[in-house]
Amino acid sequence: MTERIYNFSAGPAVLPLPVLEQVQRDFVTLPGVGMSIVEISHRSQTFEEIIQGAETDMRKLAGIPDNYQVLFLQGGASLQFSMVPMNLLPAGGKADYIVTGSWSKKAVKEAQRIGAVSVAASTEGENFKRVPTQAELRLDPEAAYVHMTTNETIHGVEYKYDPDTGDVPLVADSSSDIFSVPMNVAKYAMIYAGAQKNLAPAGVTLVIMRDDMLARSPASLHTMLNYNTHAKENSLYNTPPVFSIYVMRLVLAWLLEQGGLEAVGKHNEEKAGLLYDAIDASQFYRPHAAPDSRSLMNVTFRLPSEELEKQFVTEATKAGLDGLKGHRSVGGIRASVYNAFPRAGVEALVAFMSEFERTHG
């Protein structure tokens, strides 16, 4: 086997090595089953244990209350941009959206096709370098829900607080920071996340949703687009992404083994801290995010010129540090350091940055 490099990709992203090794070991013949995970029926006892095991571990890990559904869906977080308003925004109703980057803008675009959307706050005028404070939110007490993006993957800005929306249900896109720090699930009516950053390979989308939200879906909705279908059938209405759910099940067990979200969160704070400290100590590297909104998952920064940024990425790749190019829409450098990203890789990047500055600064 060739040696693994450090993968700073924003997603699909690095998965825990022990999980990959177990997948490899058990891939051709799942122990006791005699078939591969990608060959078994989604209605088999084996898969039922896998999906139930994933849900049980997830409930334990994140402290998900009993009155919340856990759904394993498809279509990515992008389909949730549509399903959320289709199910939760009644005819004639309105929804509040907090806009903190490209992903929340995409969510707004889909919601506008369904009904009235009001932007409760936007930091676009500041190039999305921070999230708004609670005091800045212009919330409508009549809104059907408030939508937020807990971590903007492209800009690298993340909330450090759970917004208070009073009695209005709060819906969060947590695709890029789910299970990265301890969570207060009860603050949210719904949390969704594409799996391909912190949870699993691409293909499965997680929805954690309070029971009472299910009553809002209009009966006229297409079956597959109605949350009730998936809640009633335990995410087995149609064929689910069996392999992705299997890997997610292993990742969740791994997170529990690490000591749960307290321990994982502390580890993530330390990893991101090493990078932000290096950026702050330098005149050469400039952070994108304001200190109070800095993402623990996606660390974004600029160099003095685009030319140098290009060179930085090329030389980093040669040094075994892959995936550091910022998103095409904003440029710069982005180091994604999800749960499974090893501290040694962060240390290697910090050392590389220091050497690059010495030779090019």
Kindly state the smallest distance separating residue 120's Cβ from ligand PMP, in Å: 18
Rule CB under 6 A: is residue 149 a binding residue for ligand PMP?
yes
Q: In the set 100, 122, 165, 176, which binds ligand PMP (CB under 6 A)?
A: 176
Residue 298 contacts residue 334 (beta carbons within 8 Å): yes
Sorted by sequence, the CB contacts under 8 Å of residue 177 that are 6+ apart come out as 150, 151, 158, 198, 295, 296, 297
3-state SS, 63-82, equals CCCCCEEEEEECCHHHHHHH
Q: Which of residues 92-131 bind ligand PMP (CB under 6 A)?
A: 103
Q: How is residue 294 annotated by DSSP?
A: B
Kindly state the smallest distance separating residue 219's Cβ from ligand PMP, in Å: 27
Q: Is 197 a catalytic residue?
A: yes
Among the listed residues 145, 159, 182, 174, the one whose alpha carbon sits nearest the alpha carbon of residue 295: 159
Is the CB of 77 or the CB of 114 nearer to ligand PMP?
77
Rule CB under 6 A: is residue 76 a binding residue for ligand PMP?
yes
Q: In the set 175, 217, 295, 336, which binds ligand PMP (CB under 6 A)?
A: 175
Distance (Å) of CA 52 to CA 19, 48, 181, 248, 351 = 18, 6, 23, 12, 43
Instruction: List b or e across 199-237, with b for residues whose CB sees 16 or more CB atoms inside 10 angstroms.
Output: bbbebbbbbbbbeebbebbeeeeeeeebbbbbbeebbee
Q: How far does Cα 124 stand from its chain's mean position?
A: 21
**103, 129, 254, 271: which one is catalytic?**
103
Q: Which of the stretches 13-21, 38-46, 171-179, 268-276 binds ligand PMP when contact is defined by CB under 6 A?
A: 171-179
Rule CB under 6 A: is residue 153 a binding residue for ligand PMP?
yes
Q: Is 254 a catalytic residue?
A: no
Q: Which of the stretches 54-62, 71-79, 120-128, 335-343 binds ligand PMP when contact is defined by CB under 6 A?
A: 71-79
Q: In the set 11, 241, 326, 345, which binds ligand PMP (CB under 6 A)?
A: 11
Q: Is 173 a catalytic residue?
A: yes
Q: Is 335 helix (H, G, I), strand (E, B) or coil?
A: strand
**57, 129, 177, 197: which one is catalytic?**
197
Kindly state the smallest distance separating residue 64's Cβ from ligand PMP, in Å: 20
Is the CB of 175 or the CB of 300 nearer to ligand PMP?
175
Among the listed residues 320, 329, 278, the one whose alpha carbon sits nearest the alpha carbon of residue 299: 278
Residue with nearest beta carbon to ligand PMP: 76
> In terms of C-beta density within 10 A (0-12 exposed, 13-18 middle, 19 or more buried), how is residue 62 classed?
buried
Rule CB under 6 A: is residue 335 a binding residue for ligand PMP?
no
Cα–Cα distance measured from residue 292 to residue 279, given in angstroms and rounded to the nearest whole number? 15
Kindly state the smallest distance separating residue 62's Cβ from ligand PMP, in Å: 18
Kindly state the smallest distance separating residue 11's Cβ from ligand PMP, in Å: 5
Rule CB under 6 A: is residue 293 a binding residue for ligand PMP?
no
Binding residues (CB under 6 A) for ligand PMP: these are: 11, 76-78, 103, 149, 153, 173, 175-176, 194
Residues catalogued as catalytic: 103, 173, 197
